[in-house]
Amino acid sequence: MKSFDFLQPRSVDEAISTWTADAAYLGGGTNLLDLMKIGVAQPTTVIDLSRIPGLDAIDHQAGGGVRIGAMVRNADLVWDADVVADFPMVAEAILSGASGQLRNAATVGGNLMQQTRCAYFQDSFSACNRREPGAGCAAKGGVDGAMAVLGWTDDCIATNPSDFAVPLMALDAVVEVQGPNGKRELPLSHFYGDDAAVNNTLQEGELILALRLPASARNFSSHARYVKLRERTSFAFALVSAAAALRIEGGVIAEARLALGAVAARPWRVAGAEELLKGRAPTAEAFADAAARLLEGARPSGANGHKIELARRIAIRALTLAAAGTPVRIPALPASVVEEPFDA
């Protein structure tokens, strides 16, 4: 590992003032340190945020929303009873990601910032436009079975690895950031942006302060699920995943939210798919229509055409489970496709 300076500022302003072009902010370190060990990330300065007060607070706001500090540990978030009750698919997504030990260390802000697990990105000897713009994409024509089927370009076919970000995208989460030019707020869709080869749209020196879920996200608490297909149920990244939430009134869908994970460089949400469900009964036909709309434009980026059918099925499954109602308790195998019997 390359040597570096290690700083521990005591305020956000101090952290930002110490930023240099080759610096990196450190949350829990569960992704950054791995990348440093393999030589993909080589910061000259690491700025530890753990000494800054207030970044690890969960604030349940009077209007019904919640503000979650960037340094809140993933495990602490799912121990918050109000978060589990009000935003159950967020809790289910967190519990389906990583191991218990990693959730004890990983932070909310770090989860949003984590880099793709593309093997070519993680191999410093392979061409990668994310590491070095203009270098090319070695993943194209390589081992590409798990790569993107939506939103990819010739520059990058990698996928976003976050479970947590998928329900956040569906529920209109907002990210609060601060940098040398002051504070600003980014809807999560703008935080990730549209450039497949760029991990996020943060400007130089900006750090995440918190994320917010609006009070309107609580309207879906009775019918919300996250479902994740993975190669093993314990500690594996998604092949495909889906977050689905419904507001059902009088047996009819009044409002719907739907997002896919592991199919693109960002969590994938299409407003038109949600609109297709409004005013309809929660039936298999309605769910199939929404899944088809969500996957419009999907195409293989290599030998991964199977992911399109997997994504269609996982979207239908998530909607079906959401319509059946949020479980009283989070399942023993959170988000697992083997938790409940299902025919697609």
Q: What is the pLDDT of residues 281-310, one digit of tens each?
A: 999 999 999 999 999 999 999 999 999 999
**Which parts of 61-117 are beta strand (E)?**
66-69
Task: Taking residues 75-97, report their average pLDDT.
Answer: 96
Q: Is 12 helix (H, G, I), strand (E, B) or coil?
A: helix
Region 203-221 average pLDDT: 97
pLDDT at 47 over 60: yes
Q: What single DSSP character describes residue 215?
A: G
Q: Which residue has the tokens 């270098």?
A: 135
What is the distance between the alpha carbons of residues 131 and 17, in angstroms, rounded to a whole number?
Answer: 25
Residue 144 CA to residue 300 CA, distance in Å, equals 9
Task: Extract the tokens encoding 27.
Answer: 């949350």
Q: What is the pLDDT of residue 342?
A: 47
Provide the token pair at 122. 């993680």
3-state SS class at 214? coil
Q: What tokens were used for 117?
A: 């697990």
| Confidence band of 344 (pLDDT split at 50, 70, 90) | very low
Residue 324: partners with Cβ closer than 8 Å, 6 or more residues away: none
Residues 6+ away with beta carbon under 8 Å from 184: 177, 178
